[in-house]
Amino acid sequence: MSQEHSLKQAKDILMNGGVIAMPTETVYGIAASIQNQKGLREIFSIKERPFFDPLIVHIADLEQKDQVVREWPVLAGIFANAFWPGPLTMVLAKSASISSLITSGLDTVGLRMPKHPIAQRLIRECGVPLAAPSANKFGKTSPTSADHVRKSFRGENLYILDGGPSELGLESTVIAFGGEKEISILRPGAITKEMLVDAAKEKNIIISVERKESSASPGHTEHHYMPAIPLVIVKGDGGITEKIREEICQDFCLSREARGQELRLNENPKVAARELYAHLRDCADLGAEYIYVKRISLQEGGLWDAIWDRLGRAASKSYRNLD
């Protein structure tokens, strides 16, 4: 099937109140038109997603922002110029026309402009922004390929646009605005604190940045991104010990002979991020009964913060090696 035909079919489904899976540079998403309540409800239904978790709205150009938000702070313009299209979501005051299903009843909405050419073209073809959370069951590992989406929704009649492997592999950075020179990072991602500070500084604005948890951001629940089998984090330079293995087996009611599979992160954080969700899925498919990952002290700052944010939420428990 040609890309032209695929995009037309996806558009027809969306315009008739359906949902489709589309690629972005972060992860694959399940999309619906922001103007169709039926499609928005279908997102929550097919994902088994609670209504308290808001959806991010995706636009193809800056003109479309006026359909979504009622305020556009100076810093929003600076960050849009610096990082859009790309993996940055900005939480802003919503337009009165935006459905409360998208915002979970909040007065704010997350807005971003994806970089993937298929996502951009689909939004332009539809002529309306699309709401799109990750294309997985709620709380489970996010998909970074069309095949991941197929496996997550096996048996569901979900139309999938295949755009190849996701370039970045982690969900977007989510930020909110305080005062004129204050922002909060609600979810870390590829756009780091340092990058945001530098972008503002180029316009002679010195900003303060804090890390904050908020219901205004998707993925804010304590346990999220979880693989099919337990994932545990082992802290300490000695790695996993026999004592920790015994504790894991006891905590998860596994036999003492239960086999664990190590999740190894690439030393390059960009590669580690791109491979993270695919490797989590692979580890769960190898016949092990639990996955463990070693927490290395050098893996801090920048993109590592986003990687360990996801691993911390995906993990069932953490252990510390005191040897």
pLDDT computed for residue 212 by the predictor: 87
Q: Write down the pTM of the prediction.
A: 0.93
- Distance between CA atoms of residues 47 and 61, nearest Å: 27
DSSP class of residue 66? G
Residues carrying CATH 3.90.870.10, the chain: 3-211
148 Cβ contact partners less than 8 Å away, ≥ 6 residues apart: 28, 135, 136, 141, 277, 278, 281
Contact 197, 173 (CB under 8 A): no
pLDDT band (50, 70, 90) for residue 95 = very high
DSSP class of residue 117? H
Say yes or no to pLDDT of 1 above 60: no
Q: What CA dihedral angle connects 145, 147, 148 and 150, to 10 degrees? A: 130
Please state the rounded mean pLDDT for residues 222-248: 87
Distance, C-alpha 24 to centroid of its chain: 10
Q: Identify the CA nearest to 209 among candidates 174, 181, 189, 188.
A: 181
Contact 109, 68 (CB under 8 A): yes
Dihedrals phi, psi of 6, to nearest 5 degrees? -60, -45
Mean residue pLDDT of the chain comes to 93
Residues carrying CATH 3.40.50, the chain: 231-320
pLDDT band (50, 70, 90) for residue 284 = confident
Contact 225, 133 (CB under 8 A): no
Q: Which helix (H) or strand (E) holds 194?
A: helix 193-201
Lookup: tokens for 184: 């909060």
Question: What is the CATH architecture of 231-320?
Answer: 3-Layer(aba) Sandwich (3.40)
Percentage of the chain lying above the pLDDT 70 cut = 96
Residues found in the chain: 323
Give me the sheet containing 231-235, strands edge to edge.
260-262, 290-295, 231-235, 317-320
pLDDT band (50, 70, 90) for residue 120 = very high
- Distance between CA atoms of residues 152 and 266, nearest Å: 25
pLDDT in tens, 42-94: 999 999 999 999 999 999 999 999 999 999 999 999 999 999 999 999 999 99
pLDDT band (50, 70, 90) for residue 4 = low
pLDDT computed for residue 240 by the predictor: 87
pLDDT in tens, 136-164: 999 899 999 999 999 999 988 899 999 99
pLDDT computed for residue 224 by the predictor: 79
pLDDT computed for residue 155 by the predictor: 80
- Distance between CA atoms of residues 45 and 30, nearest Å: 11
Please provide the DSSP assignment of 137-181 as one string: STTBPPPSSHHHHHHHTTTS--EE----S-SS-SPPEEEEE-STT
Say yes or no to pLDDT of 298 above 90: no
Question: What is the CATH architecture of 3-211?
Answer: Alpha-Beta Complex (3.90)
260 to 140, 250, 276, 286: CA distances (angstroms) = 20, 13, 17, 10
- Distance between CA atoms of residues 308 and 237, nearest Å: 17
Lookup: tokens for 31: 């999309």
Please state the rounded mean pLDDT for residues 262-291: 94
Say yes or no to pLDDT of 205 above 80: yes
307 to 2, 16, 150: CA distances (angstroms) = 35, 37, 24
Say yes or no to pLDDT of 179 above 90: no
